[in-house]
Amino acid sequence: MNAGSTTGSAGGEQTLPPIDPDSLRDSFRGRLITDPADIEAFATDWRRRYFGRAIAVAQPDTVEDVAAVVRWCARNRVAVVPQGGNTGLSGGATPDASGRSVVLSLARLTRVRALDTINNSITVDAGVTLAQVHEAAHTAGRLYPLSLPSEGTCTIGGNLSTNAGGAAVLRYGNARELCLGLEVVTAEGENWNGLRGLRKDNTGYDLRDLFIGAEGTLGVITAATLKLYPLPAAQITAMAAVRDPHAALRLLELAQSMLGSTLTAFELISNLCIDLVLHHFPDQRHPFAQAAPYYVLLETSDSESEAHAGAQFEALMEQALDQEIVLDAVVATSGTQSRSLWALRELVSEAQALAGKNVKHDISVPISSIGTFVEQTNEAMQRAFPGIRMVVFGHLGDGNLHYNVSPPVDRSGPEHEDEFLALQPAMNRLVHDAVIAFHGSISAEHGLGQLRRDENARYKSDVEMALMRRIKQALDPLGIMNPGKYLPPQ
Ligand code: FAD
């Protein structure tokens, strides 16, 4: 590992200085992992689609130590691959295969720095998990509303770097909208403290918004100040069975008119998703006696009481049944029932991963177009790839669907995986062309990473790509921050 290189991943094609990992060990306080067997888990993504190599995994103890690692990488022209919980679904936290990267894990930056119930804000280190933020907020009688199935493992740094979405975007917005301020170690190893807990601040270009959603390609987020909300008095969950996404949209319109802003989640789940969950998690139960093509999971957050929320839901479902929008409905009457309904939604990604390799699309279109988009694109997909199974679920209330594809039943299993994955580019083309025709986005909440880097460049205008490249060049002049992700190499 001591030799120089001419084709390193950082800084493009040039003669690179030799690397001495021992000098990295001496340059910061924290943990340094250099055994390849221990590095492997950090160099493989959650879906096991990307397998990279790294010189080491650095887990600094403090922000100053994060900066020291970045400076070491800059001096040695070594790529920095920031990593939080490694739950990202686009390969953004996985180093490339060059072996000239350091995975910079924020796992040891885990302090809750401050919580202010008047300013309604919390300041945490980047390595704090989403579930820990929920817990800290809850203890103080507050809500941090970002809600992802990966909450026990994913970190605030990762949430902000991917601008994560999840189930509560409908009411509270995505990670960007929940962030007031950031602390960042720049690509040159300097520390920028922008931890302002302000709702209003017009004092220059919004650097915070540049780093949010940048997937570690511009700098390392080391801490964040996040918005908190009052805890709702009651949260009630219901599930409705519907014929198709058109009916789900009619239910959304009715729910918004009857429940207003108390409607906090509106998730679509196809019956195939429920089947997958029930197959791989046999403890789960189907909530309806009779299966329907699609289901909607709804949640209200009420500021009055559980009884008030329950009555509102009952009234909504009565009207929806009368108008023949829904085929059947259940309203959870206990926390346990509510958690079981949510589990059916939250286990879909894991169930699909357990079922074998699949092709994922994380798309958004204007909410009103979703019914027609699904109908037309499903038909086109079946014509082009007969027998494939569409695993359609997601955050219908904000226009984001996980429009995933599993192989035909008689072509599933490890022996058919290569054959199925060879169809991925053609499937992407068909789905993404349809998304663009519907004025949508090919990357709604999971980020670009390695998975959608080239697809994104294909659909963006030259002007937009050039502006993004200029931002990258300005903030990361050596090109060491997570190279090979987000923007294709030039
Ligand atoms: P990582 O995977 O470690 O990293 C993700 C990206 O951020 C990488 O590019 C990495 O380099 C960068 N990064 C990480 N930390 C930092 C930092 N401190 N500074 C700079 N860059 C950094 N996502 C959703 O949006 N909505 C969902 O509903 C959702 N559901 C999921 C369900 C499951 C079962 C799983 C496994 C994932 C799901 N995800 C979802 C995706 C994932 O959990 C989120 O993208 C999450 O925000 C990633 O956080 P992380 O800490 O694991 O980041």
Pairing of strands 30-33, 56-60: antiparallel
pLDDT of residue 413: 82
Q: Taking residues 439-448, report their average pLDDT.
A: 97
Average pLDDT in the 270-292 region?
Answer: 95
What pLDDT, on the 0 to 100 scale, is given for residue 17? 66
Is 9 in contact with 96 (CB distance < 8 Å)? yes
Give me the pLDDT at residue 333, please.
Answer: 85
Give me the pLDDT at residue 16, please: 66
Q: Give the pLDDT band (50/70/90) at residue 7.
A: very low
Nearest one of 109, 104, 62, 59 to 83, comparing CA atoms = 104
Give me ligand 1 centre to Cα 485, in Å.
14
User: Ligand 1: which of 45, 46, 57, 89 to mutate, judged by most atoms within 8 Å of the beta carbon?
Assistant: 89
What mean pLDDT is predicted for residues 343-355? 93
| pLDDT in the model for residue 14 | 58
CA of 48 to the centre of ligand 1 (A): 15
* 3 pLDDT higher than 80: no
In whole angstroms, give the CA distance from residue 264 to residue 91: 30
Q: What would the pLDDT profile of 18-27 be if each residue is shown by its tens digit?
A: 788 889 999 9
Specify the ligand 1 atom closest to the Cα of 82. Answer: 11
Confidence of residue 11 (pLDDT cuts 50, 70, 90): very low
Q: Is a pLDDT exceeding 80 seen at residue 232?
A: yes
Instruction: State the distance from the centre of ligand 1 to the C-alpha of 154, rounded, in angstroms.
Output: 6
State in Å: Cα 84 to ligand 1 middle. Answer: 7
At 185 the pLDDT is 98
Contact yes or no for 458/385 (Cβ under 8 A): no
* Nearest alpha carbon, ligand 1 atom 27: 166
Write phi, then psi, for 312 (nearest 5 degrees). -65, -40
Give the tens place of pLDDT for each residue, 141-183. Answer: 999 999 999 999 999 999 999 999 999 999 999 999 999 999 9
Q: Which residues lie closer than 8 Å to 430 by C-beta, 6 or more apart?
A: 377, 380, 381, 384
Q: Please tell me the predicted confidence (pLDDT) of residue 1.
A: 34
At residue 52, what is the residue type? Answer: G
CA of 93 to the centre of ligand 1 (A): 8
Report if pTM > 0.85.
Answer: yes
Across the range 397-404, mean pLDDT stands at: 96
Rounded Cα gap, residues 56 and 34, in angstroms: 5
111-151 per-position pLDDT tens digit: 999 999 999 999 999 999 999 999 999 999 999 999 999 99
Residue with the larger pLDDT of the pair 13 and 276: 276
pLDDT at 219 over 60: yes
Spatial separation of the C-alpha atoms in residues 485 and 490, rounded to whole Å: 12
Give me the chain's average pLDDT, please. Answer: 94
The Å distance, Cα 214 to ligand 1 centre, comes to: 12
- Ligand 1 neighbours by CB, cut-off 6 Å: 46, 81-89, 92-93, 106, 126, 148-150, 154-155, 157-159, 161-162, 164-166, 215-216, 220-221, 349-350, 445-446, 449, 482, 485
Do 112 and 128 contact (CB within 8 A), yes or no?
A: yes
Is the pLDDT assigned to residue 335 strictly greater than 90?
no
Q: What is the DSSP letter of 368?
A: G
Choice from 150, 186, 486 to test ligand 1 binding pocket (greatest atom count within 8 A of CB): 150
pLDDT grade, residue 230 (50/70/90)?
A: very high
Q: What is the pLDDT of residues 364-389, one digit of tens each?
A: 999 999 999 999 999 999 999 999 99
In this prediction, residue 6 has a pLDDT band, given cuts at 50, 70 and 90, of very low
The closest-lying atom of ligand 1 relative to the alpha carbon of residue 395 is 28
| Tokens read off for 65 | 């130590």
Report the distance separating Cα 195 and Cα 181, nearest Å.
4
Distance CA 454, CA 486 (A): 8
Pick the residue whose CA is nearest to atom 36 on ligand 1. Answer: 87
